[in-house]
Amino acid sequence: MSVQHFNHSNIDDQSTADRSSFPLDMWYVAALSKEVQDKPLARMLLNEAVVLYRTSDGKVGALEDRCCHRALPLSLGTLEGNGIRCGYHGLLFDTTGACIEIPGQQKIPSKAKVNSYPVVEQNSLIWIWFGSEEHPEPTCRPPIYTVHDDERYLFDGDVYHYEAPYQLIHDNLLDLSHLGYVHLHTIGGNAKIHMNAEMNVEQIGNSVKVTRYMPNSTPPPTYSAAYPFIGNVDRWQEITFLPSHLEIWTGAVDVNSEPLDNPDRGGFHLKGFHGVTPETNETSFYIWTQASNPTSAPEENMKLVIEQTALTFDEDKVVIEAQYKNLKRFKDKKLIDIHVDVGANRARRIIEKLKNGA
C-alpha cells in the first residue's frame, strides 16, 4: 500500500490567493442558465469577485463586481437595458466593462471601466474564461454537453457551496465506491459489491475515465422508485473527469438482459453534470444537474430523482467538509492509497500539470 502525496499547499495559505492558484487558459462553469435572470448574481470565482447578469436582449455579461467610482459591488445595482447600473451613484456599464453613462455628467473619463470576462451560454450552462496574461481571450470553445438538449431526458439541477477545496470534490466523484457507505438509503446499494466492483481506469490527454460494473446487484431505492425492474440488476458507473467538470453516467438494466458496454443500452439512466469550480483556495461551488429517463409518470418521478440526488449531495457535503477540517487539523500526517484512488490521483496530476502551464 503506497503513501498518497496529498497536496496540502492550499491549507491555511491565502498569501497568493488569486486566479494563478488554479489552472488557467480554460473554461470554468460559472452558473446554471436559470440562475441568471432578472437580477445580478454575485459569485466569487477563482478568488475573483464577479457579477453575472442578463441583458435585455438575453445575453449574459460578466464583470468584476466593483464600480470604478467608489467600489460598491455592482451586484448591488440594477439591470437596465443591456447594462448594469451601480446602486451608489448610478454609473451604467455595458458588457465590455465600459462606463456608458454617468448621471449629471456628459464627459465619461477614459478610465471609467471595469474588467470584463469572456462568457458563453450553451446547453443551459454559463461558462466563463479565466485566461493567463498570454491568453486573456479564449483559445477554444467551451465543452459541449448535449444531454441537456436531448429529448430522451428530463433534467434539473442546483448549486452547492462547499467549505472545502474543489479537488476534494473531484476525489469524491471519481471514487464511487463510497456509495455503499455514504448513500445507503438513496443511490448506494450493497457496500461490498461497490468496493469489489470490476474497475477500469483510462487516461486520454487531460481526461480520465473510470468505468465500474456491478452485475447482479440489488437495485438501490432511487432506481426502484423510478424504473420497473423485475428483480436484481446489472449496474454500471462511467465517470469522465475533465479539468472543467465531470460527467457521470450511471444506471442499470435487468440482470443479463443486455451487455453493459453497449453505448445504446436501455434500462434506467442517470446522467450527471458536475461543474466543480473553485471559489477560493479553500472553498468551492458545485454546479450540478441530473438527467434521467423515468418511464412512468415522468415529471413526478423526475422530481423524485432530483430530490434523491440532492439528498446524496447533502450527504457528500457533510463528509467532504468534515474531511477538509480534519486535513487541516492533521496537516502533517500522510495519507495512504487504496485501490479505488487510481482515478482521483490521475486527476490531481493533471490539475498540477495544468497549473504549471504544461
CATH of the domain at 67: 2.102.10.10
- In this predicted structure, the answer to whether residue 155 has a pLDDT above a threshold of 70 is yes
Residue 212 belongs to a domain: yes
Stated as kind and residue range, the H or E segment containing 201 is strand 198-204
Smallest CA-to-CA distance from 214 within 250, 169, 248, 175 is with: 250
Say if 137 falls within a structural domain.
no
Is 176 a member of any domain? yes
Calculate mean pLDDT across residues 136-152. 95
212 or 126, which is more confident: 126
Gap between the Cα atoms of 245 and 158, Å rounded = 15
* Same domain flag for 117 and 239: no
Bridge partners (DSSP) of residue 217 are 233
CB distance 93 to 114 below 8 Å: yes
Cα–Cα distance measured from residue 136 to residue 134, given in angstroms and rounded to the nearest whole number: 6
Q: Which CATH number fits the domain that encloses residue 250?
A: 3.90.380.10
Which residues touch 335 (CB under 8 Å, ≥6 apart)? 3, 4, 6
Q: What is the DSSP string of 287-339?
A: EEEEEE--SSSHHHHHHHHHHHHHHHHHHHHHHHHHHHHHHHHTTTS-EE--G
Q: Is the pLDDT of residue 8 over 50?
A: no
Are 218 and 258 within one domain?
yes
Percentage with pLDDT > 90 across the chain: 65
Q: What percent of the chain has pLDDT over 70?
A: 89
Looking at the fold, whether 159 and 277 belong to one and the same domain comes out as yes
> Are residue 12 and residue 37 in the same domain, yes or no?
yes
Q: Which three cell numbers stand for residue 81?
A: 437595458
Same domain, 198 and 99: no
Contacts with 98 (C-beta within 8 Å, 6 or more apart), sequence order? 112, 113
Q: Please determine, for residue 10, whether its predicted confidence score (pLDDT) is greater than 50.
A: no
Residue 162 lies in a domain: yes
Q: Contact at 8 Å (CB) between 64 and 115?
A: yes
Please indicate whether residue 189 or residue 357 has the higher confidence score (pLDDT): 357
Based on the domain organization, do 346 and 200 belong to the same domain?
A: yes
Q: What are phi and psi of 318, to 5 degrees?
A: -60, -45
Residues 6+ apart with CB under 8 A from 260: 213, 215, 234, 236, 253
Query: Tell me: the pLDDT tens digits for 55-86?
Result: 999 999 999 999 999 999 999 999 999 999 99
Overall average pLDDT of the 202-221 stretch:
90
150 and 126 part of one domain: no
Whether the pLDDT of residue 16 is over 60: the answer is no
In the predicted model, what is the mean pLDDT of the chain?
Answer: 88
In terms of domains, do 229 and 295 share one?
Answer: yes
Whether residues 85 and 211 share a domain: the answer is no
Query: What is the count of structural domains for the chain?
Result: 2
Q: What is the spatial distance between Cα 141 and Cα 33, in angstroms, rounded to a whole number?
A: 17
Which of 105, 130, 155 is where one domain is finished? 130
Residue 322 belongs to domain spanning: 146-355
pTM value surpassing 0.75: yes
267 occurs within a structural domain? yes
Residues 91, 167: one domain?
no
Q: Are residues 153 and 95 in the same domain?
A: no
**Whole-number Å distance between alpha carbons of 206 and 59:** 31
**How are beta strands 92-93 and 99-101 bridged, if at all?**
antiparallel
Last residue of one domain, picked from the residues 130, 154, 178: 130
At residue 221, the pLDDT reads 77
Query: pLDDT confidence of 277, banded at 50, 70, 90?
Result: very high
Does residue 138 fall inside a structural domain? no
Residue 248, CB-side half-sphere exposure with 13 Å CA sphere: 21
**Cell matching residue 16:** 497568493
Q: Are residues 274 and 348 in the same domain?
A: yes
Residue 136 included in any domain: no
What is the C-alpha separation between 292 and 270, in angstroms, rounded? Answer: 5
